Chains A and B, each alone.
Chain A
């Protein structure tokens, strides 16, 4: 019974944590600009994420090492310093974008510019990290995150034509606006396959003291959790496709995306969009801040743990404190949140190979995962993802220039 409860909690966590500013922004852009044609990208990204998250969890449960610990130990600091620095930079930009998402949600509802909200939101994030513990954050935010199911409900209310949706499962490339299409595809993959998700998940598994008996829970959480989160992303895409695309609205700013739930839900739709955006981004901001502190602490061997009192993990707490306030400055100075989101997704795509290659080494190393090495399926998906992310890494920046 306890295991079932753990699985349920884990799934709820994934729903709240999977959907973030990147997933919402890219899905809205995809649906409004290209109707159902980019559905395959979300499905592809989800499969990769499920596999990688399951591996992060398995690694943590069996070896009692987090991903960052294991990469430094197994592959050496001289290798690890590259994904480490890259991840810190990307985390900084993504955190700025997530804070931006919360600020935009507040702007939508109050009319007060997002720039004014940046510091208060950063303070709220910091306060929760400082005073809260891991369970509170994991579970509290995730239950609130269930509000994003509004997009799924809206999808059913809008009755999209199923054949058209099914066609979107097949990868196609349109003749017109090819650069823009490919750019959004790359951004979706960068938004879904986020390195911070793996580092955070493995750290969480260690914080929750997982062991070999949790391998089943891990598989359920990875599969069902990420799967559900993906369903919400698909919901955003389909709603945008049903509501915005027919009207000829191509999402270039959050103000446009905010309209999408008004057709199925009226005024409550507007509120639901803002609430979903705000809560999803707030949860993601907590995760990304923690992630940066986790990987730095784990890289250098400091004491770490969200459940620890700040004075027991001074360097760890100091890092997330400074990081949150610095990242919020990106919004204070008025950088466009949507542009920052898309840019950071493209940048994520560039650094992905460095993050994923270690999986191939670690998950086949018996000293880390014992008898639970990768089977041929997991290895195949990993190799496929590495190849895919290499391609993404090469085309991401040129496409940002051409199609962004």
Chain B
């Protein structure tokens, strides 16, 4: 009984641990993707007036913090740090627009964000094709 339990535990561990740096990169990218998508929805719903200003601002700030935390020790693809930097800039612009209650000003960074989202997706797909 104990041996069976140990064996199944090892199986789960073997199948699931993100050991390689490649796996770590993919995980990081996915997290950044999720936060970016969140920022996009926050921007869009704020533009439509569906969420309060303070919530939009605080969430965008939190997203910037989370992405910074997640990409702190990034290695792997050389293009990535620059893309993350651009992403953070876009998020900054969005936060500024929200802080100043200028709904018109969020339109441009939103479009920019959509492009950056696409780039992230392409990057993620490329990682997925590697062995």
Q: Does A329 contact B (CB under 8 A)?
A: no
Chain A residues within an 8 Å CB radius of B34: 248-250, 252, 256
A255: contacting residue among B40, B62, B117, CB under 8 A: B62
B9: contacting residue among A250, A253, A267, A398, CB under 8 A: A398
Does B33 lie within 8 Å of A248, measured CB to CB?
yes
Does B15 lie within 8 Å of A178, measured CB to CB?
yes
Does A402 lie within 8 Å of B12, measured CB to CB?
yes
B16: contacting residue among A109, A178, A252, A394, CB under 8 A: A178
- Contacts of A243-262 to chain B: CB distance below 8 A: 244, 247-250, 252-253, 255-256, 258-259, 262
Does B59 lie within 8 Å of A262, measured CB to CB?
no
How far is B12's CA from A108's CA once the two chains are assembled, in angstroms? 38
Chain B interface mostly helix, strand, loop or mixed?
A: helix
How far is B42's CA from A244's CA once the two chains are assembled, in angstroms? 12
Q: Does B37 contact A (CB under 8 A)?
A: yes
Q: Does B17 contact A (CB under 8 A)?
A: yes
Q: Does B5 contact A (CB under 8 A)?
A: yes
Q: Does B58 contact A (CB under 8 A)?
A: yes
Closest to A178 in B: B16
Does B51 lie within 8 Å of A262, measured CB to CB?
yes
Chain A interface mostly helix, strand, loop or mixed?
A: helix
Closest to B49 in A: A267
Does A269 lie within 8 Å of B12, measured CB to CB?
no
Q: Does A373 contact B (CB under 8 A)?
A: no
Q: Does A266 contact B (CB under 8 A)?
A: yes
A224 CB → nearest B CB, Å: 34
Q: Does A270 contact B (CB under 8 A)?
A: yes
Q: Does A395 contact B (CB under 8 A)?
A: yes
How far is B34's CA from A244's CA once the two chains are assembled, in angstroms? 10
Chain A residues within an 8 Å CB radius of B68: none
Does B16 lie within 8 Å of A253, measured CB to CB?
no
A14 CB → nearest B CB, Å: 31
Q: A267-B50, A394-B5, A398-B9 are in contact. Are A259 and B15 (CB under 8 A)?
A: no
Does B38 lie within 8 Å of A111, measured CB to CB?
no
Q: A247-B37, A247-B40 are in contact. Are A398 and B12 (CB under 8 A)?
A: yes
Does A262 lie within 8 Å of B45, measured CB to CB?
yes
- Contacts of A100-151 to chain B: CB distance below 8 A: 108-111
Chain A residues within an 8 Å CB radius of B31: 252
Does B48 lie within 8 Å of A266, measured CB to CB?
yes
Does B9 lie within 8 Å of A259, measured CB to CB?
no
Chain B residues within an 8 Å CB radius of A111: 52, 54-55, 58
- Contacts of A235-284 to chain B: CB distance below 8 A: 244, 247-250, 252-253, 255-256, 258-259, 262, 266-267, 269-270
Interface residues of A, Cβ cutoff 8 Å to B: 108-111, 178-179, 244, 247-250, 252-253, 255-256, 258-259, 262, 266-267, 269-270, 394-395, 398-399, 402-403
Show 14 A/B contacts (Cβ-Cβ < 8 Å), sorted by A. A110-B54, A179-B12, A248-B34, A255-B59, A256-B34, A259-B41, A259-B42, A259-B45, A259-B51, A262-B51, A267-B50, A269-B50, A270-B51, A270-B52
Top 6 A-B residue pairs of the complex, sorted by shortest distance between their CB atoms: A111-B54, A179-B16, A248-B37, A250-B34, A262-B50, A249-B37
